[in-house]
A and B are shown apart, each in its own frame.
Chain A
């Protein structure tokens, strides 16, 4: 087995690791290694990896008692195309581990979440409030422990949530949500403001927590994709793909080339549809409804084409472990290309109007700035990260199928404002259209076949990283006995990006919040699970 020790993170860890596992070997030889370390070293290693330029991509726990273990505490770090996982074990009797908050800001919420769901204790964490579970959830009940019965419904307690407070002359508070004014998902926001200026914004999420991670553990590995496809409806293709790639990496299953091409085709179509929708919605929040309606029309045409080609407007449940459920024939390829050409023309006409409208431009330039340093510190991913100088795109860093044969030109801007987050998406639409043309032109001619696989042994692990339209999705699956799921961790980009939105709002004004919010369009469901 090859071990890639030539890269920075791996070589920095090796001296500290007591055990090593290789997850996800892929064609280009990119391996994801998992290192077992002593828990006393867990924090120290975070510091070392930070120095090497790593970012914290995810942090999670797993109850490994059915596998004969304790609680596993995991952290996944990434540095361009290198992903490593650090694992430590903590016994149920003393489930403490040193907090990573000293080095990585995203650890603040990851660890609050781990504590709420597993009762593992991040020592040195400054904020022990629950996360995702609310304050009325009893403090001694941990839903993701195996001892917790999925259908139990403990009565509500009456604890208070300690909000951060700002006091002083003229300071007032605006509570918003969970039921918002538009057709959007629920969350609660507290603005502290003086006049129009926002001094502080704190979000409380978790309102759409529907127990996805616990539900996974009641499902066979082969069926879990149906649930993964509903982690965040707008990213159904990307989440299903992340799940399947993680499962395939664990079982050694390799989908046929054409399936991989079709998966990429779906991923790019999902990206374009969501970018169309959000560019229109951005214009709508600046009262430029003309563009809004034209973009919704363009999006509708794409969704209808999806329905005709793939049997579903959002292409839900097309990607399954081992391949895809649909083939694309020669005639359909021609239809895709001709519709794409029409769409491109219409899109470019709208973009001239987008750029020429001074009152719209005035609203989006220099609004809601997320500085490059801050984006890096917060480990912001996806188009929001690329609008703030973060060079990352899993299509290049963790490629599969067609992405192995060409590099994606991932646009990066540095101004970090609403305009940049919009403009990165404009450039991504153009790039995705080019990618679709390339995919169609090089699509293998033979029909798709579904690759089969055997159930992995209990304790086997799989990993994947997929660039959904919102950004990097990280998925990690641990097999249970007889093809069951012991743990499935899916980290939506929103889990890290929400903090980006909350941070940039400080210093901006209240009336700009809808624009800032829309420019991120983070998923509540993907975050709350």
Chain B
């Protein structure tokens, strides 16, 4: 394989077989079908279209990529004849401008035989003498496009900046074993400091953790219960609805809150009525002392009241 020429400071070094003209056989004797078939076999779709003369309009709509070659190979493997005919049809139906251009660019067919053996200087001279400057420039563009497709895309400086980690926060990956080991050491040291009997610290810690979890979960539990109630009463399906219910004016009263908490020992079907009645009595009291007395006696007798309610419920269920 002949190695390539450098086409400038920003040009990409290419292998010779990427250049469509440097490794072609004598194409002048080929028919249109043979020529198109040869191009399909050798080059990416973009390059084929370039030779046919449709490349400028084609590349406006489609940027060649590596998938083109694979797609072309797949199509060619299944229905090569049809693809060749299609491309020839494209040549035939192209505009006059494109046709002229295609004819010009088919100077490839007049290329000398064995041109792959030419040196770089001879090749450049040949191109300058046989092809217009614009075509030579286009060929250079083809080389660069192919090289760009074939080489991996390097990140630009902008993307490198985007992806750069914050330097202030060092990203240290701690192994899981090391982390567990560190925790074990810390706990061991803490237990040694607290003394030989770790019961008390563990009890306090456990109580604290439990209390924290309860406080954290209470709000969610209440929300979940409310959503579940709303959903169970819905006939149309499980749609989450945020319902803001206006609380009763006496909800904030401390006595009512205490009574509400205590009344959980009552059967559910009697609870609401009982609460409303007793809250009505409580808030009708004339003094705070009377209210406190009334509340305390209610709470103290709540087990007996609950027993009566449960007996009543049992009697009703029997009947």
User: Is B one of A's binding partners?
Assistant: no
Tell me the B residues contacting A by CB distance below 8 Å: none
A contact residues vs B (CB 8 Å cutoff): none
